[in-house]
Amino acid sequence: MARRIELDGRQRIGAMSTASGTRTFAASDPATGEALEPRFHEATAKEVGQAVDLAAQAFDAYRRTSPERIAAFLEAIAEGILELGDQLLERAAAETGLPQARLSAERTRTASQARLFAALAREGSWIDARIDRAQPARQPSPRPDIRRMLIPIGPVAVFGASNFPLAISVAGTDTVSALTAGSPVVAKAHPAHPGTCELLAGAILGAAARTGLPDGVFSLVQGAGHDVGLALAKHPRTRAVAFTGSLQGGRGLFAAAAARPDPIPVYAEMGSVNPVFLLPGALEERGERIAEGFVGSLTLGVGQFCTNPGMVVGPSGAALERFVAAAGQRVSACPPGTMLHAGIRAAYEAGVERTARSSGVRVAARSAAGPDPKKTQAACVLFATDAAALLADPDLAQENFGPSSIVVRCASGEEMERVAESLDGHLTATIHGTPEDLARHRRLVEVLERKAGRLIFNGFPTGVEVCHAMHHGGPYPATTHSGFTSIGTAAVYRFVRPVCYQDFPQDALPEALRDGNPRKIWRLVEGQLTRD
């Protein structure tokens, strides 16, 4: 049986535990409103500075750490998370209202992605080593010896997400990808699940101690307001920020980082409607089956997924009306669910009311059972409108985080394209169609390639596979930089930068760039990928 850990609500600044501030806050169970012990101390500006300074002091030693030891560290993190046992699941369930079965699956994902990054670190080719050897006899001028690779950037500030308290939080992809890169992490715990964050931080710090890594490679600070996060983003030794959350929160951090004397990148994943386009052939063939899958995706986790399908676009006619009717029946039967915290529920209800008041919009269906505000519950709502109303009111195309979606009727394929053109950037766009539909609507696909980071064919956007090929990002406002992902192994590239070495002697080069290729990684040598 796993040893139960007594939470103390203090900062974890490397190996040191501290609570010098007088301001405290508590988590609460969203299903009951009950306050949860203990109270957590808000980090002071001095404590934030100590955490970042310690990370900066650890940086040079950590970036020289062998890939094998970094891999062992990440594997030890995975083991440490699992060793927390039921206590982690119980605390996360109490703080978020998420069922333990969902959290158990998320714990498995969290450990698995740490191991996936361990394998990436061990194999090593991700550093993108490139070698162009000297050509002293080249005319009209000799070519120098030029070699290039990626190196870590330094301390990274990671912000825990509300909707994935394990997999996109203190021990999630942002943290393990930064650690894989060789960049120390200072994590900001999410104020809605601070106890979960403290438990995960303990697992990471234990793994660091067991693998002999420098003090400061990881720290955790707590805070209920914005001050702690802004202090992290503004600290002169912070080199990048990783954030998953609201558009307002991401923009605030982005503005703070851009206003620094030395601006730094903020990789923020913010808002996305994730439109679903229904093409005529698929709608006629299997509209009711699509409706069933759509409502399942819409209501998964009470709609609290960044890939939640918040809009459906299809051709006007009997087939679309059958889809709406079938989806409406399932929405009506869907019981209200407890959301992550009261703030998310309030924002969701305000969004539902705003959409319901919009001209040209009707409520097509809503959960038959009413939500209980005392249990932080929200009901599923399906709206319907047409392309003219949507194009006249861009607010209808904005994310409302939770289990609501809007069906948009279009008079033609060209009108569907105009709707697609009007959309902001999104994490995903989904197309349901036949091969013939795709051939006839190639222009729509081309538009969506510009609007989304991931295109899904005959599926649904919820459920993001953690793998090498995944891209979880998209044009603004989905993210602040569409060239990077926050899920999958390519996430490591957010926390590195290239360095080029010209005419360095062999023994002064990093191992990965030496002629003998002692690490046996894939390298681009004279334009050819090789391990030689």
Nearest in space to 126 (alpha carbons), one of 483, 494, 521, 487:
521
Nearest in space to 126 (alpha carbons), one of 523, 464, 469, 405:
523
Give the residue ranges of the chain where pLDDT is below 50.
none
| pLDDT on residue 3 | 78
528 has which bridge partners? Answer: 525
Rounded-to-10 torsion of CA 369, 370, 374, 378: 90
- Alpha-carbon distance of 176 to 130, in angstroms, equals 25
| pLDDT on residue 48 | 98
CATH 3.40.605.10: which residues of the chain? 41-124+142-270+484-493
16 has which bridge partners? Answer: 13
Active site residues: 269, 306
CATH superfamily of 276-457: Aldehyde Dehydrogenase; Chain A, domain 2 (3.40.309.10)
pTM of the model: 0.96
Nearest in space to 427 (alpha carbons), one of 487, 384, 382:
487
Are residues 93 and 100 in contact, defined by beta-carbon separation less than 8 angstroms? Answer: yes
Tens of pLDDT, residues 47-94: 999 999 999 999 999 999 999 999 999 999 999 999 999 999 999 999
| pLDDT on residue 1 | 55
CATH 3.40.309.10: which residues of the chain? 276-457
Q: What fold does the segment set 41-124+142-270+484-493 form as a domain?
A: Aldehyde Dehydrogenase; Chain A, domain 1 (3.40.605)
